[in-house]
Amino acid sequence: MTADTAAAAVTEHTVLATQLGKLTIVRDAGSLVGLYFPRHWPRPDRAAFGPRTGRGFGDVARQLDEYLAGDRGEFNLPLEARGTEFQRRVWDLVAQVPYGQTTTYGDLSRCLGDGVSAQEVGAAVGRNPLCILIPCRRVIGSAGKLTGYAGGLDRKRALLELEQARMARVRRALATGFW
Active-site residue list: 136
Cis peptide before 51 (omega within 30 of 0): no
Which whole-number Å values give the CA distances from 23 to 60, 70, 173, in the listed order? 11, 18, 32
Q: Which of 52, 47, 9, 41 is nearest to 125 (CA)?
A: 41
Residues 6+ apart with CB under 8 A from 114: none
Which whole-number Å values give the CA distances from 130 to 144, 174, 175, in the listed order? 23, 32, 35
3-state percent breakdown (helix, strand, coil) of the chain, nearest 5: 40, 15, 40
Amino acid at residue number 123: A
